[in-house]
Amino acid sequence: MSREVAHIPAEMEGIFVERPNRFLGRVQLEGEGKAVPVHIHDPGRLREILFPGNRVLLHRASGIRRKTAWDLVAGQCNGHWVLVHSSHHRAIAETILSHPEDNPLGGILNLKAEVTYQNSRLDFVAETYRGRVWIETKGCTLCREGIALFPDAPTTRGKRHLEHLRELRLQGERAAVIILVFRPDSTCFAPNHETDPAFAKAFWAAVEAGVEVYPLLMEYHPPTIFYRGEIPLREEA
pLDDT of residue 1: 63
83, 117, 141 - which closes a domain: 83
Report the percent of the chain where pLDDT is more than 90.
82
pLDDT of residue 64: 67
* CA nearest neighbour of 49 among 14, 89, 82: 82
pLDDT of residue 108: 87
Confidence of residue 236 (pLDDT cuts 50, 70, 90): low
83, 108, 135 - which closes a domain: 83
- Classify residue 41: in a domain, yes or no: yes
Kindly state the average pLDDT of the residues 35-63: 94
Number of domains the chain contains: 2
Q: Are residues 123 and 214 in the same domain?
A: yes
Sequence length of the chain is 237
Domain extent, residue 185, equals 86-230
Q: Which residues does residue 56 pair with via DSSP β-bridges, in sequence order?
A: 14, 75
Report the percent of the chain where pLDDT is more than 70.
98
0.85 surpassed by pTM: yes
Kindly state the average pLDDT of the residues 67-80: 95
DSSP state for residue 10 in the 8-state scheme = -
Q: Are residues 163 and 112 in the same domain?
A: yes
Q: Are residues 75 and 14 in the same domain?
A: yes
> What rounded mean pLDDT belongs to the chain?
93
- Classify residue 237: in a domain, yes or no: no
pLDDT at position 67 over 90: no
pLDDT of residue 119: 79
Kindly state the average pLDDT of the residues 119-135: 89
pLDDT at position 237 over 50: no
pLDDT at position 104 over 50: yes
Is the backbone peptide bond immediately before 151 cis, with ω within 30 degrees of 0? yes
Q: Which phi and psi (to 5°) does residue 178 adopt?
A: -105, 120
